[in-house]
Amino acid sequence: MKFIDQINLKGKRVMFRFDFNVPMDSNQNITDDTRIRATLPSLNYALDEGAKVIIISHLGRPKGKKVAELSLAPVAKRLSRLLEKQVLMAGDCCGPEVENMLQQLKPGCVMMLENLRFYKEEEKNDAEFSRKLASLTDVYIDDAFGNAHRAHASNVGITNYVKECGAGYLMKKELNYFHKQLEKPTRPFVAIIGGSKVSDKLTTLVNLIKKVDKLIIGGGMAFTFLKAQGFEVGKSLAEDHLIDQAKDIINQSRILGVKLYLPIDCVIAQNKVADAVTKIVPIQEIYPEWMGLDIGPATITLFREVIANAKTIVWNGPMGVFEIDAFSRGTSAMVHAVASSHALTIVGGGDTDVAVQKTGESDNITYISTGGGASLELLEGKVLPAVAALEKCAGDN
């Protein structure tokens, strides 16, 4: 594929697809602008080149209806502050109003179009909607890694109707970290996979077991593996229909010589609530009516030792129900352990990103992905639809 610095942008209308699906409070105040800040290198490059910049994005799930609370206006306001330049806000993402505004747009200026998902055609990858978006630009740059695993009009369909397509600096960085480090990692290579369900990450585990030297499995999904080994796990989250697949992964690790690590103790409670009575027990002693909700101190020590000599660490998924303080210690301890390692560390977005931010260790992680779902699909070994579309566009031209 082509990248932004390989395309002549001077004086051209350049449309950026960003992922500005940022968290907001009830008053529409942005609570975390990480995704906005991540786009500044691409934006500043285009502005320095004298491009007429048009920004498209989605926000939330309005399901094809115009929802005032999901307007991108607060994002335009925040971006104006970060760029120290006014970002014009359109009332729509296509149609006469947008076309009239675009005619007035001068080189070095920026306008943002309204939420793409106000149109149901966006998520349907509708050809006509794609064509309407494409008619507004000369060059299309996709820098929305967080949405790259979706095949929508704004990141797949549009590439069929624009002459020049490319990827922005953020997309380039994401692909570089995940592709290069997964294909040719510096070893020992350790993967830490957590989260609640094996079903969400089964393909990831199957793919990673062939690449890593050590695999740590934590979170709720660990109990399916523990049950596969014959342990009683009480009311802990375990997917009985995946026990055979868990056994296959355990056997595969033995065949390939991959060291597989599971919790050896856990924090248990009768209910997943903040004021629950908790106990720390070995895995063999989980009470029948209780559930495991975090890894215990012995497991934390074990997992720390596992990653002590790692040269590459990839982490996706928390070690417990970290949203509740009583069950957050395991995840927090692992954040500190990963951050203080001497390895190249990649965190795969989503809940793990939130945990890292909450612990205050962001600056000590080599790379934090902006896309949870997209990074997970790369870990699964899949080709992202938006990436495939950019490659096809480059090939056609």
Alpha-carbon distance of 142 to 16, in angstroms, equals 6
Which amino acid, residue 93?
C
Alpha-carbon distance of 30 to 38, in angstroms, equals 15
Alpha-carbon distance of 58 to 127, in angstroms, equals 18
Q: Of the residues 35, 78, 173, 201, which is catalytic?
A: 35
Whether 266 contacts 294, CB under 8 Å: yes
Alpha-carbon distance of 338 to 354, in angstroms, equals 15
Place of tokens 């903040």: 274
Alpha-carbon distance of 293 to 266, in angstroms, equals 7
Say whether 197 is catalytic. yes
Alpha-carbon distance of 369 to 346, in angstroms, equals 7
Q: Of the residues 219, 234, 317, 350, which is catalytic?
A: 350
- What are the residue ranges of helices labelled H in 167-232? 169-175, 181-183, 198-208, 222-228
Question: For 128, phi and psi rounded to 5 degrees?
Answer: -65, -40
Place of tokens 């509740």: 324
Return the DSSP state at 325.
Answer: G
Whether 150 contacts 376, CB under 8 Å: no
Say whether 35 is catalytic. yes
Say whether 194 is catalytic. no
Q: Establish how many alpha carbons lie within 13 A of residue 45's alpha carbon, considering only the half-sphere containing its beta carbon.
A: 20
Q: Of the residues 11, 373, 381, 392, which is catalytic?
A: 373
Q: Of the residues 77, 85, 124, 197, which is catalytic?
A: 197
CA neighbor of 17 nearest in space, from 130, 124, 142, 123: 142
Positions marked active-site: 35, 197, 350, 373
